Amino acid sequence: MPKLTLIIGNKNYSSWSLRPWVFMKHHQIEFDEKKILLHTETTDEELSQYDSGTKVPILKDGDLEVWDSLAILEYVSEQYCESSGWPREASARAVARSISAEMHSSFANLRSELPMNCRKQFNRINLSIEAAEEVTRVKEVWRICRTQFGRSGEWLFGEYSIADAMFAPIALRFNGYSIPLEGIEKNYVQSVLDQPCIIEWMAEAKAEKEIIESQEM
């Protein structure tokens, strides 16, 4: 029985839950999954037993609790992947950390105007100037990484990394909202969509019945 338990939210909506889930699946790390439905009358009560301040995801490793997607990714990389979650080469590793931190702290307009919804496919929608600028910035980041560091493989830094897990929900959003893509960014999104664990997540997300009205367009 795995000693790791990952507490997540609804797969259809919870982009933060997806990040550590897909990383651990990619590296074939065994874990139990516990889903707590978000935005229900019992959500806060169910999450109150953990130390995360009623947020998901949470990783339990024995008696230890780790929360926040990026912290979980770093912990798993260090403890279960021999720190291979970051690129080996120093400059690539520095850039991977930079874009992962940027993903963690930025793109508020993109998140708000393109909420993750795996069950639906949208035609092109009208974005605010701010959200459109953030979409452009994501594409720029992907082109920089693939051009400078990722020529040896299909991921941002060649081999799969924490940065790919951090940007996976954005790739799903770009696909789901029919964001125009070409060249490097189009190929990168396709790599994400073809990833077996992403295919698994999407299938399970689409099978969910719960609806969070605030996340529906």
Q: Cβ atoms within 10 A of the Cβ of 107, count?
A: 20
pLDDT at 91 over 60: yes
- In this predicted structure, the answer to whether residue 146 has a pLDDT above a threshold of 80 is yes
Has domain 90-200 been given CATH number 1.20.1050.10? Answer: yes
| Residue range 151-195, pLDDT digits in tens | 889 999 999 999 999 999 999 999 999 999 999 999 999 999 999
Is a pLDDT exceeding 70 seen at residue 213? no
On the question of pLDDT at 124 being above 80, the answer is no
pLDDT of residue 125: 84
> Which strands sit side by side in the sheet containing 64-67, from one edge to the other?
32-35, 4-8, 58-61, 64-67
User: Cβ–Cβ contacts within 10 Å for residue 11, how many?
Assistant: 24
Rounded Cα–Cα distance for residues 131 and 48 (Å): 33
- Contacts for 28 with CB less than 8 Å, ≥ 6 apart: none
Q: What is the pTM of this model?
A: 0.95
pLDDT for residue 1 is more than 60? no
Q: Which fold has domain 4-83?
A: Glutaredoxin (3.40.30)
Domain ranges, ordered by start, for the chain: 4-83, 90-200
